Amino acid sequence: MALQQSEGVLRAVSSTKEVELAAQELARQLIHPYLGFVLFFCSAEYDLDGLGQALEAHFGGVSLVGCTSAGEITPQGYDRGCVVALGFDLRCFSIASVLIDEMERFNLLDAQHLVDGLVKDCRSNELASIKGHSFALTLLDGLSSREELVLGALSAALGSIPHFGGSAGDDNHLTHTHVYHGGRFHSGAAVVVLFNTWLEFEVFSTHHIQPSAEKLVVTRADSAMRRVYELNAAPAAQEYADLIGVPVEALDLRAFAAYPLAVRISDHYYVRSIQQVHDDLSLTFYCAVENGIVLTAMRPGPLLPNLQQLFAGLEQRLGPLLLTIGCDCFLRRLEIENDGGVESVATLLRQQRVIGFNTYGEQFNGMHINQTFTGVAIGRPAGRGER
């Protein structure tokens, strides 16, 4: 079938757990003569080996990249236990990807070589100049504890190319997360994707978290493991529980979502979300923590108005949106589920054509952050309307 250029991205979803049928359904919705690349996000509940093989078989040589999630954002809004995918038209996008299979050894020289290769591959289609017409996406193993190392090197190598991404999830089990590249799923790995396009776009990050006056100082931590043993020279979990006014036994993911902590850098606050509490009253975080840093107690503000303001600004600058790829922290989703706000947020995501996933962390221009909605908005070609 011939596509109009205004259809530069097709969307697909499958909720069946049978991997062969899921791959068939996605292929039926996405395959066309100009399909150049597929990006997908899936529940970790799938038979991942089987799903990887089925996708590779049904997409016949088209490059596929993806990761497991802590929830999916589909054309219908929030979902769970499914696989959602995007098919990119090669007339609108030149896309190259690469796997980083040893995150712990990744350095600046590796990053420069990687970025040079991606740029060379994207230039082969000659859609648009790289500078000003490209953005990068990273999908990282969300339990690797190596995000900062990889992102620091990549950010330096990417230079002026804007960059966003998300850390893979596993449906809130916090056991095994995976990225997909080269026909199979990988753990302890990352995928970097470079998009080159003549369409207008904007990489963004937003959050609704507001600072309060209370501070906690990290006085004993294992930075390599992101584990904090003491806050204010007291057992970390007890000090945090006292701060938010609950017993230690009540500390869970919903408490962490409702009462986040953040590091202040210049005038901006970057959330350092807590992952879990241990029997020794230490706390493991999703992002880097070090001895001596000051953590500010934060409180969630209104989430929906923050998103409405974000999209109003994006539409003002880009016009009607063709697509938004969204990396939405799973703690935000837990918050709105707890507050009963799922449908109102899902309605906005549907209206703004958001496709994405709930993450174990987000990336924005080299920063590893938590409890944000981060992504890229892509505008429609000038003069084109809804298809």
Per-residue pLDDT of the chain (387 residues; tens, 9 = 90+): 333 434 799 999 999 999 999 999 999 999 999 999 999 999 999 999 999 999 999 998 899 999 999 999 999 999 999 999 999 999 999 999 999 998 888 999 999 999 999 999 999 887 999 999 999 999 998 777 778 889 999 999 999 999 999 999 999 888 899 999 999 999 999 999 999 999 999 999 999 999 999 999 999 999 889 999 999 999 999 999 999 999 999 999 989 988 999 999 888 888 888 999 999 999 999 888 899 999 999 988 999 999 999 999 999 999 999 999 999 999 999 999 988 889 999 999 999 999 999 999 999 999 888 999 999 999 998 644 443
Q: What is the predicted pLDDT for the residue at 268?
A: 84
Is residue 230 within 8 A of residue 164, CB to CB? The reply is: no
Is residue 195 within 8 A of residue 134, CB to CB? The reply is: yes
Q: What is the CATH T-level fold of the domain 209-298, as seen in this structure?
A: Elongation Factor Tu (Ef-tu); domain 3 (2.40.30)
Q: What is the predicted pLDDT for the residue at 247?
A: 97
Three-state SS at 3 = coil
Amino acid at 238: Q
Q: What is the predicted pLDDT for the residue at 307?
A: 97
Is residue 212 within 8 A of residue 99, CB to CB? The reply is: no
Q: What is the predicted pLDDT for the residue at 2?
A: 38
Q: From CA 51, how far away is CA 79, in angstroms rounded?
A: 19
The DSSP call for residue 129 is -
Residue 259 has which token pair?
């009462």
**CA 171 distance to own-chain centroid:** 14
Is residue 114 within 8 A of residue 103, CB to CB? The reply is: no
Three-state SS at 57 = helix
Q: What is the predicted pLDDT for the residue at 154?
A: 95
Q: What is the predicted pLDDT for the residue at 384?
A: 44
- Domain boundaries in the chain? 9-206+305-379, 209-298
Best CA proximity match to 376, nearest among 166, 97, 171? 166
* Phi and psi angles of residue 6, each rounded to the nearest 5 degrees, phi first: -70, -10
Amino acid at 162: P
Q: What is the predicted pLDDT for the residue at 339?
A: 86
Best CA proximity match to 192, nearest among 143, 121, 125, 252? 121
Global confidence as pTM = 0.90
Strand ordering across the sheet containing 163-167? 93-100, 190-197, 134-140, 163-167, 362-364, 367-369
H or E stretch covering 104 = none
Q: What is the predicted pLDDT for the residue at 386?
A: 41
Is residue 216 within 8 A of residue 297, CB to CB? The reply is: yes
Axis-axis angle for helices 48-58, 19-30 (nearest 10): 30
Is residue 346 within 8 A of residue 247, CB to CB? The reply is: no
Instruction: Specify burial of residue 275 (Cβ count, 10 A radius: 0-12, 13-18, 19+).
Output: buried
Q: What is the predicted pLDDT for the residue at 357?
A: 98
